[in-house]
Structure 1
């Protein structure tokens, strides 16, 4: 059965926040391009985290044309730093920001997010990791010192996306090995990320089955 036809999935979709006009345009473009977004179900969590942390600064590893950033902004974030390797997507994001009236609150950095973060000092209130899956754990370790205590790190595509979810279930349920990186680096990367945050006493982590599945880690020390 298509997971999106499950009653719980339908319920979450039916009760998610409505898109703003700009977000609706973004979602339509994403459908046209076949470009994945976090969607309003997970977006509602990003909005909530921005609100709960009274976010001033947000950093994103992988932003596309800035759909996820709009949810942080809806939660009251003062500034979101977006990173995107594809210049065309970043350019479209700048245009959306101008049209949506939030250009002064969003910065688009074109290039490798792992190089971009080295040019920014903390503290950040919330961080989103949503780029290459095999680099999630490295992104987490790099950005953690720049996240304030009480801040949050969110990772997308934990249960759905370019991964083999049954392999992840087998790993965490039965101790089965993760796939070889030469065979499936995406699934291995997500598994390594979840293992990293679950074993790190600096954070407390919960995995939420909204959208494509997100891991939310709060920095406690």
Structure 2
């Protein structure tokens, strides 16, 4: 569920970049199947971020059926590269089909399996990294990928505010310095990630209320 009201969400979509036919098809699939994709509000921002960072290489921790990758790919040069990772083989095959439909198959790399293992097989740099896998592993992803992100690159972490498994009230309490009880591992994972990246002087971080909340960290040092 988006953190935006229905009206504001409609406005952001209407005022944002126009999805192509493939993205509309992907949005329809998400709605029909109840698939938790980032949505066009976040997708448009991801593509803009890739343009603003002059991204040539992108890595995703968790790609699902390729929705965020498709948005990213629209900003990459013809010799760019985006690495999609997914543990579900059927979803990765769907991603392959959609990326090919959009003409992005040549710049996409499809990796079936654990993203934490996959990233170790790739040298940097990655200009943009999306973290959107298991929430309790967000901080681990940050630690393993940081050496591959150059100054001027960025990390985006999805579900920084909300998801069906996130206890927002407890997340808010932690962010404000509290110590709530009975925090589940997903909420704790997001809180730990935010604490780590905000405390890292090499990054400047803001949380944007788009989709289910995204934490955007720009590497400054």
TM-score in same-fold range (> 0.5): yes
Mapped to 2, the partners of 1:59 and 1:25 lie a distance apart of 24
Partner of 1:155: 157
Selected match of 1:166 from 166, 169, 172:
169
Is the Cα–Cα contact under 8 Å of residues 157 and 214 in structure 1 kept in the other structure?
yes
Contact conserved, 1:44 with 1:71, CA < 8 A, in 2?
yes
Structural RMSD (CA): 1.6
Mapping 1:104-123, distance limit 5 Å: 104-123=106-125
Q: Which residue of 2 aligns with 1:190?
A: 190
Aligned to 1:51: 51
Deviation at 1:7, TM superposition (A): 4.4
Q: d(CA) in 1 for partners of 2:189 and 2:148?
A: 22
- Decide whether the 8 Å contact of 1:50 with 1:76 is kept in 2: yes
Larger helix percent: 1
Q: Distance in 2 between matches of 1:127 and 1:177?
A: 30
In structure 2, the partner of 1:30 is 30
**Does the C-alpha gap of structure 1 residues 3 and 121 become closer, same or farther in structure 2, counting only changes over 3 Å?**
closer
Mapping of residues 201-212 of structure 1, within 5 Å? 201-212=201-212
Distance 1:152 1:54 in 2: 11
Structure 2 gap ranges (5+): none
Q: Which runs of 4+ in 1 moved over 4 A?
A: none
Q: Does the aligned pair in 2 maintain the 1:178–1:191 contact within 8 Å?
A: no
C-alpha distance after superposition, 1:30-83 (max 9, x if no partner):
222221111111112111111011111000000011110111112235211000
SS of the residue corresponding to residue 148 of structure 1 reads coil
In 2, Cα distance between equivalents of 1:139 and 1:3: 24
Alignment of 1:64-75 (within 5 A): 64-75=64-75
Using the size of structure 1 for normalisation, the TM-score is: 0.92
User: Which of 1 and 2 has higher RCO (CA within 8 Å, sep 6+)?
Assistant: 2
- Aligned equivalent of 2:88: 86
